Amino acid sequence: MEISIAVSALSAIAQESRLEIFRYLVQAGKNGVPAGKIAERLDLPASTLSFHLNQLKQAGLLTCRRESRTLFYSANYDSMNDLVAYLMENCCQGQEENCDLSIACVPEEKKK
């Protein structure tokens, strides 16, 4: 991953509403969620949501598909995984035996 792409993605999720949108779509799965349902769930006006969705889409973190008159948004898991891999590239100085990343996959309720 190029550094400019990583910076763009991190900049996009560095805003609270966009991070909430992205996390919601990651949880929603590959089928995505209609824009109206995202707005309702996160209590965002349509114009504000549209702005945030475009920012995330331009950063490559979201995909969008149209079904009739409805736009469905979903997380771009490949981009997300590329970003995480880029951030973790030199984890534990490249010595996998020293890494314990299992905590990253534990749901929040189990971490408490």
Q: Nearest Cα to 23, choosing from 37, 13, 11?
A: 13
Q: What is the CA radius of gyration of the chain?
A: 16
The neighbour count for residue 37, using CB atoms within 10 Å, is 15
| CATH number of the domain residue 52 falls in | 1.10.10.10
Residue 93 sits in which domain range? Answer: 3-111
d(CA 97, CA 26): 29
Confidence of residue 110 (pLDDT cuts 50, 70, 90): very low
Percent share of the chain, pLDDT over 70: 82
pLDDT of the residue at 9: 96
Q: Taking residues 6-24, report their average pLDDT.
A: 96
Number of domains in the chain: 1
Confidence of residue 90 (pLDDT cuts 50, 70, 90): confident
**Entry pTM:** 0.81
Q: What are phi and psi of 18, to 5 degrees?
A: -65, -40
Q: Which residue has the tokens 């008159």?
A: 69
pLDDT of the residue at 96: 67
Q: Which residue has the tokens 């109206």?
A: 36
